[in-house]
Amino acid sequence: MINSRVFLLFALCFFINTVFALPNKLDVKSQAALIYDTQSKRILYDKNADRVMPIASITKLMAAMVTLDARLPLHGKITIESTDVHNTKRTASRLSIGSTYARHELLRLSLMSSENRATAALARTYPGGMKAFINAMNLKAKKIGMLNSRFADPTGLNQGNVSTARDLAKLVIASNQYAVIRDFSTTAQHRVARKNNRGQLQFVNSNSLVRNQGWHIDVSKTGYINAAGRCLVMKADISGDSMVIVLLNSLGKNTRIGDANRVKKWVEANQPIRNKQYKASSHPKTPAYQLAKS
């Protein structure tokens, strides 16, 4: 985990970055997007990167960091309660009220399968409860330089959870510092016991790309509510280069996956040209967490 003073330093210092002009056109359908090369520290592509938008369950990456920062026992038992049930339609959960799981199980389900009751239970059992948890989320956002972001609940079901593609790139980079988040967010499938040990429940990752052998993903999170559209953020290795990909408000069911695959092909096709530009460029790099406006 990163020292909070380092976060503050990154958040306070901003540099101007030039987005590299690459010859092969990238056609991203998502309403907002950003691609950041973490090794060369360059923004390769942005589209409406500073538009403030609802982010749905991308929120759960922040919730995971706050949970882990509290250093609560990961094997501690948490029981799902009625207060963990969200009254919004179409938010069904397979975790029944009264079922008990270890904190690490709920954290894994929250990240890989976007389980809302799991996330709500993690926030409820945080020191100081739900209000303290949400306050910690907003404080963490400021520390890592997410200055255009706001969190109103831990799950992302509240459309008051808003951010920008640029801020979410910072969130992905920060999340990557946590081994637990890297592991849990990219778990392809996972089983947990049903209440009263009546068999098992199997969960699959909400990002189908983690099961695709052509992808090497370090951090992943999907999101969807009507107000946000379909969203996807990832940190992935593409042809040996470490990329942060942010895709927001993809209208079609499969658009975010299609966009991600288009990004992968675009990065691969432009790799030799990009490397040549980096060597010849005198433009300042954009250190991680700064990602200043281009």
What is the set of active-site residues? 57, 60, 114
Here the tokens at position 165 are: 């593609």
Interhelix angle 59-69/103-112, rounded to 10 degrees, is 160
Number of Cβ atoms within 10 Å of the Cβ of 66 = 24
DSSP 12-32: H-----PPP--SS-----SSE
Q: Cα angle at 264 between 238 and 18, to 5 degrees? A: 85
200 burial (CB, 10 Å; 0-12 / 13-18 / 19+) is: exposed
Q: Are the CB atoms for 172 and 219 separated by under 8 Å?
A: yes
